[in-house]
Structure formats: C-alpha cells, structure tokens
C-alpha cells in the first residue's frame, strides 16, 4: 500500500492506494488492479472513527473533497462525527479506471472483465482497505447503488460494520429485475403526469421536440442524432430534487437553437464518460438473474403508444445505433446482458446481521421503488427507515439528510 498526504484548506487528505486481485477467491488468476481511497480528516478529527462512502451508479467514482464551500454537501455533517473514506470503486476514478482503452480486450474480454467489477468485488476491496487502515470495524454510507453494495456487505461481512447509513439504496432482495423495472415505469408515469399537470403547455412542447427527433432534426455538437428514446430519457431529471428545472429550461428553449443542443447534450444521461454505467447498470438489480435488456422488454403498452411519457434509468439497445460514444461497446454489452449473475443478497444473513443505523427512503423515488425498499427494510429491524417526501433520489446532496440519519441511528428525537 502507498500513502500520500495533501492539504486542502483545513482538511487533511490521505490518499491510499492498494494493489488487489482482480478476481477475488481465485489464486490462480494473477490479474491485479489498484484501488484508491481518500481519507478526509478535519482539524481535531484525528481520533474519530471511520465512515466509508459508497457512491451511486454503478460505474462512478467517489466525489472529491473540498472546503469553503464544502463539497460534497454532506461532507461537513459526516466530518462532525467521522473521518471520511472516499472509496473509488474498482473501475472508477483512480482505481484502475475502466474506459476506452479496455476496448482492446475485445467484446468477450470486456464482458468477462466487467463481471469482476460488481458489488461483491467492491465489498471485498472495501474489506482490504479497512484492514490496511488497521481498524476492526467502520461505519458506512451508501447512496443509491452504494446502498445496494451495503446490502451485500451486510450479507457477507456484517461484523465489520458499525453504523449503517443508506440513502435511496434499499434495493429489492430476491426479486427479478423485470419486477423492478416494471415498477419503475409506474413511477415514471406518475412523475411525467405530475410534471405536465404543473406545466400544461410542456406536453405539446415535448411532443414538438419528439417529432423533430423522429425526423433526425436534433443533432448534438458531438454528432449524435438524437433518437426519440434518447430524448425521452430526459425523464431521469424528474428523479432529482431540482432536475425539473433543467427539463423546464429545455422545453422553454427553441429546439433549433445552439442553446438547446448544447444544454441537451449536458442533460442526457448515460454518457460515454462512464461506459460502465451503461454496460452493467441493469446488473445492479440482478440478484441471481440474467437481465437480457429488462427495461426494454417490460416497457408498458401506454409508454409504447405515448412517447411524451418520459423514461428514467432505462437503458436502450437502440442507442448503440445512434450514440457515437456507445457504439464501440455494443458487442460487449450484448454479452453482459446474457450473464447469469450470482446472488448478491442473503435475506437470512441480513436479518441476522443485527445491523444498526438508518436509511432514507424517498416516497417518490423513480429509480429505487418505495415498495421494494420497504420490503427490504423489514429484513433489517435495526436500521430505522426515514420515509420522506421532502427529497427525491439525490436527497443526500441537499446536506440535511445525513445529519437526520445520524440522529436516528443514535436514538435522538428529530426536530
């Protein structure tokens, strides 16, 4: 392990890099990767316990730490109680990042490599980092997919965890991905209709832009000819606290203007910056199943008939034909979709974990449905659910969520 130290304002950041097996549990496979974690300590915080942060995604690195102003917004709330470990999950950030260079592996090689970047391997990496820090236990905070990863952590290494905090990340346990995606369409239907009720003229505005896209009339600065399905994926914005403002701005802007094209390029999800997110997003819901393009297969009839019903975190095969940055990954993604993924969660182990902590469950969450989150919460009686309509899926960024969860975990009365 190598450690370097830097200072940023009043924060000390110790960068830890450890070389670990690509394939855990197979000593005959000599492939290795580097895993990076930044340990952030405030002034006077050297004796505080550790809190490791697991990022959402999958396929995104941990956020960098800054002060004055604080970023991420929840950092000060965490630093009041912990030293914060910002773990770059394998394949992201400074942890042997996955990207265009990996295309040289060929489609079969890429698909095989990706199978080793999942939540089970991330937990094994976290355990190695914990041991390298010389601590027996630490606390954990997981946003979205990070919460999914914590569920695997609790299924396999619960004794390593103290307080558990989950935000928008109580995944379905033992469910088929088709069940999850069918429910997320219901959530997106409701979110779309709520938006159009709030801004009635925007349904026609969206329809105009969909017609323009269908004729090939929306071309992004990078050359992408925006398809109807890509334009509909702007529904992702409705799953965040303030994303509706971006959608509002797009529907108020001339669709033939430079402003619209450049703003749309920034707003569309699943960019080629993080190909992992597109390649194996559906695998995060595959608790013992192959996905086989689940979101495509379970799209409801009314969505097929009415394109103004916006979609959310639903990946599309046709994007391989229209999105330049995704085209090179086509054959690998087709193979990944057929992988029979092993089980991630053990319901009996979760119930026996005696885990303590708190979880934010958002009533309107369009990505991680309330119904399955509550089902999973019942497996974790020591984790107090905070069920709220105050925030959408990215509520952690608002800054007030983590302090509430810490108060709940420590038995304090919410004010």
Torsions phi, psi for 277 (to 5 deg)? -60, -40
Phi, psi (degrees; rounded to nearest 5) at 188: -70, -30
- Would you place residue 270 in the very low, low, confident or very high pLDDT band (cuts 50, 70, 90)? very high
Question: Of 233, 366, 214, 240, which is closest to residue 296 (Cα–Cα)?
Answer: 233
Check whether 324 has a pLDDT greater than 80.
Answer: yes
Among 192, 196, 191, smallest CA distance to 363 is for 191
What's the average model confidence in pLDDT over 285-314? 97
**C-alpha to C-alpha distance for 384 and 413, rounded to whole angstroms:** 12
Instruction: Write the pLDDT tens digit of every residue in 7-21.
Output: 998 999 999 999 999
Contact between residue 339 and residue 290 where contact means Cβ atoms under 8 Å apart: yes
Q: Which of 292, 272, 274, 322 minimizes the C-alpha distance to 176? A: 292
The answer to whether residue 215 scores a pLDDT higher than 60 is yes
- Taking 90 as the threshold, does the pLDDT of residue 285 lie above it? yes
**pLDDT-based confidence at residue 68 (cuts at 50, 70, 90):** confident
* Per-residue pLDDT at 88: 97
Listed residue (196, 170, 186) closest to 357, CA to CA: 170
The predicted structure's pLDDT at residue 346: 96
Inter-CA distances, 258 with 186, 251, 299, Å: 34, 14, 32
β-strand partners of 17: 2, 36
Q: Give 90-148 pLDDT, tens digit per residue.
A: 999 999 999 999 999 999 999 999 999 999 999 999 999 999 999 999 999 999 999 99
pLDDT at 1: 81
- Tell me the pLDDT band of 402, cut-offs 50, 70 and 90: very high
| Range of lowest pLDDT (53-62, 302-311, 333-342) | 53-62
Whether 414 shows a pLDDT value over 80: the answer reads no
- Would you state the pLDDT for residue 157? 97
Mean pLDDT, residues 68-87 taken together:
93
Contacts of 260 (CB under 8 A, 6+ apart): 250, 253, 254
Confidence of residue 413 (pLDDT cuts 50, 70, 90): very low
Residues with Cβ < 8 Å from 352, sequence gap 6 or more?
A: 158
Rg of the chain's alpha carbons, rounded to an integer?
A: 21
Q: Do 344 and 175 form a contact (C-beta atoms < 8 A)? A: no
Determine the Cα–Cα distance for residues 165 and 159; give it in Å rounded to an integer: 15
What average pLDDT does the segment 217-229 reach?
97
Query: What are 77's two structure tokens?
Result: 């709330």
Strand partners of residue 388: 362
The pLDDT-based confidence of 369 (bands split at 50, 70, 90) is very high
**Residue 139 belongs to what H/E stretch?**
strand 138-143
Residues 6+ apart with CB under 8 A from 351: 379, 380, 381
Q: In sequence order, which ranges of 142-214 are alpha helices (DSSP H)?
A: 145-156, 177-198, 202-214
Q: Could you give the CA distance from residue 91 to residue 336 in angstroms, rounded to a whole number?
A: 16
Mean of pLDDT over the chain: 95
pLDDT score for 298 = 97
Give the confidence band of 415 by pLDDT, cuts at 50, 70, 90: very low
Mean pLDDT of the region 372-398 = 95
- What pLDDT sits at residue 29? 96
Residue 412: pLDDT band (50, 70, 90) is low
Burial of 396 (0-12, 13-18, 19+ CB in 10 A): buried
Confidence of residue 67 (pLDDT cuts 50, 70, 90): confident
In this prediction, residue 216 carries a pLDDT of 97
Is the pLDDT score of 84 beyond 60? yes
Instruction: Specify the pTM.
Output: 0.95
């Amino acid at each position: 392990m190598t450690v370097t130290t830097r200072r940023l304002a009043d924060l000390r950041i110790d960068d830890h890099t450890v070389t670990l097996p690509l394939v855990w549990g197979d000593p005959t496979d000599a492939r290795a990767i580097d895993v990076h974690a930044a340990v952030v300590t405030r002034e006077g915080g050297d004796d505080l316990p550790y809190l490791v942060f697991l990022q959402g995604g999958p396929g995104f690195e941990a956020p960098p730490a800054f002060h004055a102003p604080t970023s991420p917004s929840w950092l000060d709330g965490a630093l009041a109680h912990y030293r914060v470990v910002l773990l770059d999950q394998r394949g992201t950030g400074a942890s042997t990042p996955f990207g265009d260079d990996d295309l040289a592996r060929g489609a079969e090689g890429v698909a095989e490599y990706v199978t080793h970047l999942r939540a089970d391997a991330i937990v094994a990496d976290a355990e190695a980092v914990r041991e390298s820090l010389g601590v027996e236990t630490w606390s954990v905070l997981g946003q979205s997919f990070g919460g999914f990863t914590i569920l695997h952590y609790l299924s396999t290494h619960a004794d390593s965890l103290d307080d558990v905090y989950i935000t928008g990340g109580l995944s379905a346990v033992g469910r088929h991905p088709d069940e999850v995606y069918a429910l997320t369409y219901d959530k997106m239907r409701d979110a779309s209709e709520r938006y159009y009720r709030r801004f009635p003229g925007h349904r026609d505005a969206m329809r105009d832009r969909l017609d323009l896209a269908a004729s090939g009339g929306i071309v992004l600065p990078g050359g992408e000819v925006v398809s109807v399905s890509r334009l509909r994926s702007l529904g992702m914005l409705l799953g965040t606290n303030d994303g509706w403002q971006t959608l509002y701005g797009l529907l108020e802007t001339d669709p033939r203007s430079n402003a619209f094209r450049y703003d749309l390029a920034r707003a569309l999800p699943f960019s080629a910056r993080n190909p992992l997110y597109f390649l194996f997003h559906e695998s995060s819901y595959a608790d013992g199943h192959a996905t086989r393009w689940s979101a495509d297969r379970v799209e409801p009839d009314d969505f097929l008939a009415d394109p103004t019903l916006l979609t959310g975190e639903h990946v599309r095969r046709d994007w391989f034909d229209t999105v330049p940055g995704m085209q090179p990954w086509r054959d690998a993604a087709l193979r990944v979709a057929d992988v029979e993924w092993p089980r991630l969660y053990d319901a009996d182990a979760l119930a026996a974990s005696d885990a303590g902590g708190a979880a934010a469950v958002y009533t309107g969450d369009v990505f991680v449905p309330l119904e399955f989150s509550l089902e999973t919460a019942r497996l974790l009686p020591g984790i107090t659910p905070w069920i709220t309509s105050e925030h959408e899926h990215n509520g952690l960024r608002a800054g007030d969520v983590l302090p509430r969860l810490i108060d709940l975990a420590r038995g304090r009365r919410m004010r």
